[in-house]
Amino acid sequence: MTPVWFMRQAGRYMDEYRALRQRYSLLEICRTPDLATEVTLQPVRRLSVDAAIIFSDLLLPLDPLGLPFDFIKGEGPQIERPIETPADIDRLRPFEPRDALSHVLDAIRQVQEELDGHVPLIGFAGAPFTLASYAIEGGHSNNFAKTKSLMYAHPDAWHRLCETLSAVVGDFLLAQIEAGVDALQVFDSWVGALDASDYREFVLPHTRAIFDRIGGRVPTIHFGTGTATILEELRDAGGDVIGVDWRIPLDEAWARIGHDRAVQGNLDPTLLLGPPARMFQQTDALLGRVGGRAGHIFNLGHGILPSTPVEHVQMLAHYVHTASRRLR
């Protein structure tokens, strides 16, 4: 049976999440272990998923580094004073995640107590490129112009920034392992903005340092979007499992990554908006490409969209289980 979980399986598409968000901000939920625990468990109660992912946000480490931010309604994250110069990079303060992010670690312990072995818990953090892009752009970007300009104009400062991010993220992930996560996903959501040669020069050593620090203590997933042209580079940076978005057929991606690694993906999240017949048809096509080969984790190519009907997510999780059992 193919295991299934969904990126953003907790969130706005669920009534019970929206109800909590009426009373608390996203950051309040992230910083209150009772609330983060509740939201982590909401999808596990509603969907037949085979994993929970700790409810948190990729940007949390930016604040203790010296880059405070907030989420602005309808606009997404906004960093108060984004990095503009090499001097701004030298002002960043490495920190101890067991202190500054202890609320995430407390939530992990609390979730594990409640799950009691029912399904594994995935912890996560952002990879250096994606974190740097928020720190430099100040929010979301379409072309990553500021990030790439800094990278090209001040390569030494860029590498210092990524070394700092990689050290902090490595510490944070080790602390999550100590707190009890069963697996880790490293999100490099926006790294598809780079070509293979820039990836190798500016990103690969820093992301690899993170996987090296984890050193096989728990299984790891390395995820990005828009990565069809840099899959080999992502693989070389590390990860027992490589996450693949929907823009490339999964069998083609897997052949390039190599069958000695597992893969995760890659249904287009917009298919969950409906109609269900097309969602099922494309799920059949995806499972057909896998052809019963061991080492596939079913997921979407990116996160669940807020306008997704929860019934479609429920049906899909169930469908993947029954259809993949038939194929084996």
Can you give the binding site for ligand CP3, defined by CB under 6 A? 7-12, 21, 26, 53, 55, 57-59, 71, 76-77, 124, 140, 187, 189, 303
Specify the residue, 70 or 90, whose C-beta has the smaller distance to ligand CP3: 70
Cα distances (angstroms) measured from residue 40 to each of 34, 115, 163: 10, 10, 30
24 in active site? no
Name the minimum Å distance from CB 261 to ligand CP3. 21
Rounded CA-CA distance 138/59 in Å is 11
What's the order of all strands across the beta sheet hosting 121-126? Answer: 52-53, 121-126, 183-188, 220-224, 241-243, 262-267, 296-300
* Distance in angstroms (rounded) separating the CA atoms of residues 247 and 305: 17
Q: Decide: 269 and 250 in contact? Cβ < 8 Å.
A: no
- CB neighbour burial string for 32-43, b if at least 16 within 10 angstroms, e if fewer: bbebbbbbbbbb
Q: Which is nearer to ligand CP3, 76 or 309 (CB)?
A: 76
Name which of 140 and 259 has its Cβ closer to ligand CP3. 140
Is 199 an annotated catalytic residue?
A: no
Closest residue to ligand CP3 using C-beta atoms: 189
Is 245 in the active site? no
Reading the block at residue 148, the tokens are 């790439």
Q: Which one of 13, 17, 134, 319 is the catalytic residue? A: 134
| Cα distance between residue 299 and residue 315, in whole Å | 14
- What's the CA gap between 233 and 197, in Å, rounded? 9
Tokens of 159: 């590498």
User: Residue 57 in contact with residue 126, Cβ under 8 Å?
Assistant: no
Q: Active-site residue 46, yes or no? A: no
17, 31, 57, 199: the active-site residue: 57
Is 21 known to be catalytic?
yes
3-state helix, strand, coil in the chain (%, to 5): 55, 15, 35
Quick one: 12 or 159, whose CB is closer to ligand CP3?
12
* Distance between first and last Cα of the chain: 8
| Between 44 and 290, CB nearer to ligand CP3 | 44
Nearer to ligand CP3, 122 or 257 (CB): 122
Active-site annotation, residues: 8, 12, 21, 57, 134
